[in-house]
Structures are given as structure tokens and as C-alpha cells.
Amino acid sequence: MGILEISGLCKSFGAKKVLEGLDLDIPEHSVFGFIGKNGSGKTTTMKLILGLMKADAGEIRVAGERVRFGHTDTNRYIGYLPDVPEFYSYMTAAEYLRFCGDITGLPEADIRTRTAELLEAVGLAEEKRRIKGWSRGMKQRLGIAQALLGRPRLLICDEPTSALDPVGRHDILEILRGAREQTTVLFSTHILSDIESVSTDAAFLNGGRIVLSGNIAELRGGMGEHRYEAVFGSAEEAAAAAEHFGLIPYREKLRFPEDRVPDMLRYLADKGTVPLKLERCERSLDELFGEVISV
């Protein structure tokens, strides 16, 4: 059983359909990247998971418990970091975390140790000023601290890196990577390199549905059809080889599945054709995303 299971989720705003039957299953202790273009429904999905909006159809379960709109019970398993976190600006970071601990119902002693621990971890331990006047990056760090305070089983981050400078972004990604030991992370992004650097799993959202999801390594490997690529000296050579194997070449390149590798080597030896390059292809997520959304 996954920590988060979503089935057949639908949501529209007026005539605009945002989600049309979204299914998602997130395994525990994964760092799950949720990819989609701007406006594809990532934030909507998160707000539905948090019970902040009402779904038109479908079911969401967090740790096996059903999420009900307007109720906050399932939120006790969740830590949430919105894209632009805002806090009560008249409080200090420590005061804010204490407030969070109180409304979550953490034990008194726990609040004290967790607050110190987390402020240290996000680099805000020395910051005694009130939140008013803090920079975006500092607020993002406090956002992570408050999200992790109650040791949530699921950490949901909405575009956590979108408005940060490269250093801030790297720091946040490192914190998310580190969080994996204690929790499951679901984070949305439209930046594929974020996913490549920290995720273990990913799902592509397009047209209101998940068009592709799974383990990053498996996704990269693809479905086994295009795993090797030979680059020939000319398009003619490629075309001849393609005909032999019943494949379709692309200019002087030919892609073929792994189980045809011995055949290919034999063919090359027989014909005396020397390819310029013969290699296993790593598909970038970029390429993969391009493929799945153009389907």
C-alpha cells in the first residue's frame, strides 16, 4: 500500500477541465517528482490532497485514510510547503514553529527539540528577527522546517525551487533529498533537471491525466525498444541495416532493442560496415517528456 493513492480524480473550474481521471500511487520513502507544464493541474492536485478544494469525482487516500473536503484529519500525516509560503510576519521563526507544534498537537518537549533541530538544519538557527522583511529564500527554508516539524509521513512541496536563485535551489533540493530517510516526498516542478537530481520516482501530468509514471531508472531505460543506437557513416548504410532488421532509421542513426545487439554485431561483421558509434542510449527525461506529451 502506498502512502498516497489517488484514483479517478476529476476537477474542473467552470467549463475548464483541469483533472480528468488522475490516478497516482506513491510508494513510501520515495522522492516523487510530479512534472507538468504550468497550469497542468499540479497545484490543484495538491490542494485536493490537502482537502482544501472539493473534487468533482475520484478518491484520495493518505496512509489508507480517505481525504474528505473541508476536514483536516488526514492532514496530520502531511507536511505541506506551498509555492510561496507566507507566515505571520509579526512572529519570529521559533514562535511560528511553536505555534505549528501546538496546533498539530506535538508533545511539549518534542516541539522544543524539533524546533532547534530543524532551524539548525535549514540554517535559520541564528535568525532572531521577526519574519517581516525576510527574503524569499529564508521563507522557503522556514517553510520546509514547518512542513517537517510534525515528522509527517508525506511531505508535499509545490514548486519548491521555482523562485530561487541557483544556490538556494541547490540547498532546497539537498534538504528534500535528505528528508527521504524519514518521510516520503512529493514535489511538483516544471523543471526536469530538479527531478533528475533528486527524485527516485516521477509522474508526468498532461491533459488532466498521468501520462507516464514510475521509477526514474526504469523511465530512463524506456520500454526496451530504443535502448541501443548505431550511428553509421551514411544514411544509406543506416537504411540498409534498417531494412535488414525491419526497423526505421533516422538519417544515419538506427535504434534497436537490447536483444538485437548480437544480431547487429553479426550483421556489421558480415557486411564489413564500421559504424561511427554504437552505444546504449540514456534517454533524458526531457526527451521522454517530449515523447509522452506529443502522443
Partner 1 sequence: MDNITEYLPLLIPLAVIELALLGYSLYHIFTHTKYKTGSRTVWVIVCLVLSGFIGPILYLALGKEDS
Partner 2 sequence: MRAFSAFLRKELTAQKRTGKLYILAAAAVILGILAPATAKLLPKLLEAVGTEGSGMTITLGEVTAFSSFQQFFGNASMGLIAFLAVEAGILTGEYRSGTLVLALTKGLPRSKVIAAKTLTLVLIWSVFWWISFGISYGFTAFYWSMDTVSHPLFAGFAYWLFGMMMTAVILLFSSFSKGIGGVVGGLAGVYFGYSLLGMIPKLGKYLPVKLTAPDALMKGSEQIGDILPAVIITAAATAAALTAAYIIFGRRSMD
Residues in contact with partner 1 by the rule CB under 8 A:
89-90, 130, 132
Binding flags for partner 2, 32-61, as an x/- string (CB under 8 A): ---------------x--x-xxx-------
Q: Does 78 help bind partner 2 (rule: CB under 8 A)?
A: yes
DSSP code per residue over the chain: --SEEEEEEEEEETTEEEEEEEEEEE-TT-EEEEE--TTSSHHHHHHHHTTSS--SEEEEEETTEEP-TT--GGGGGEEEE-SS----TTSBHHHHHHHHHHHHT--HHHHHHHHHHHHHHTT-TT--SBSTT--HHHHHHHHHHHHHTT--SEEEESSTTTT--HHHHHHHHHHHHHHTTTSEEEEEES-HHHHHHH-SEEEEEETTEEEEEEEHHHHHHTTSSS-EEEE-SSHHHHHHHHHHHT---BTTEEEE-GGGHHHHHHHHHHHT---SEEEEPPPPHHHHHHHHHH-
The item of partner 1, partner 2, none sharing an interface with residue 12, based on CB under 5 to 8 Å by kind, is none
The residue from 21, 58, 76, 244 that contacts partner 2 (CB under 8 A) is 76
Cα separation, 175 vs 73, whole angstroms: 27
Our CB check for partner 2 shows the closer of 156 and 254 to be 156
The item of partner 1, partner 2, none sharing an interface with residue 104, based on CB under 5 to 8 Å by kind, is partner 2
Size of site (CB under 8 A) for partner 2: 29
The item of partner 2, partner 1, none sharing an interface with residue 86, based on CB under 5 to 8 Å by kind, is partner 2
The residue from 32, 34, 87, 289 that contacts partner 2 (CB under 8 A) is 87
Minimum CB distance to partner 1, residue 80 (Å): 24
Q: Does 82 help bind partner 2 (rule: CB under 8 A)?
A: yes
The item of partner 1, partner 2, none sharing an interface with residue 72, based on CB under 5 to 8 Å by kind, is partner 2
Minimum CB distance to partner 1, residue 132 (Å): 5
Our CB check for partner 2 shows the closer of 53 and 121 to be 53
The item of partner 1, partner 2, none sharing an interface with residue 210, based on CB under 5 to 8 Å by kind, is none
The residue from 57, 84, 265, 276 that contacts partner 2 (CB under 8 A) is 84
Closest CA to 157 of 172, 170, 171, 168: 172
Q: Are strands 253-256 and 57-62 parallel, antiparallel or unpaired?
A: unpaired
Our CB check for partner 1 shows the closer of 130 and 260 to be 130
In degrees rounded to 5, what are phi and psi of residue 262? -60, -40
Minimum CB distance to partner 2, residue 14 (Å): 13
Binding flags for partner 2, 111-150, as an x/- string (CB under 8 A): -----------------------------------x---x
